[in-house]
Amino acid sequence: MKLFVGADHAGFALKQELVAHAKAAGHEVVDLGPPSADRVDYPDFAVKVSKAVVAEKGSRGLLVCGTGIGMSITANKVPGIRAAVVWNVESAKLASEHNAANVLAIGARQFAAPYASKMLDAWLATAPGGGRHAARSTKIDALDKR
């Protein structure tokens, strides 16, 4: 899986650990920054990752900030993005299965790297569901076209 990754200064350290974890698991990871823990604005990196995910069909994105909330709000402004903030392994799995989330947002101030890695793994290992979930996803997609 190709995974585009971005963070802000609050999420930098966790981003580094998740990048290493995803690479070790065999994923192709593109780290879009930042390159240090110096102060940056999270919307800039949420947009970079989101545009990359939209441009490369079948890829996914990972965003890390203090809570995951600001990143997800920003990412969801980009047509074609379904960013989900997750709070446990089950919500990460369901974000993909039920909501076809193509971007995962994790709060670095909320989770240590070992648990964040489990959430990332669950999300990456779960395909979007069909049936009633696909029908609902189609309705969500239509909102991007209004």
Query: Which tokens go with 58?
Result: 């079948």
State the catalytic residue, choosing from 9, 21, 27, 65: 65
User: Which residue type occupies 114?
Assistant: P
Edge-to-edge strand order for the sheet containing 60-65?
A: 28-31, 2-7, 60-65, 103-107, 83-85
Q: How far is CA 95 from CA 18, 35, 77, 123, in A?
A: 18, 28, 18, 7
Annotated catalytic residue 21:
no
Catalytic annotation, pick one of 9, 21, 27, 98: 98
Give yes or no for a contact between 64 and 7, defined as CB atoms under 8 angstroms apart: yes
The DSSP 8-state label assigned to residue 127 in this structure reads: P
Assess contact for 82 and 99: CB atoms under 8 A. yes
- Is 9 catalytic? The answer is no
Spatial separation of the C-alpha atoms in residues 125 and 31, rounded to whole Å = 20
Catalytic (active-site) positions: 65, 98
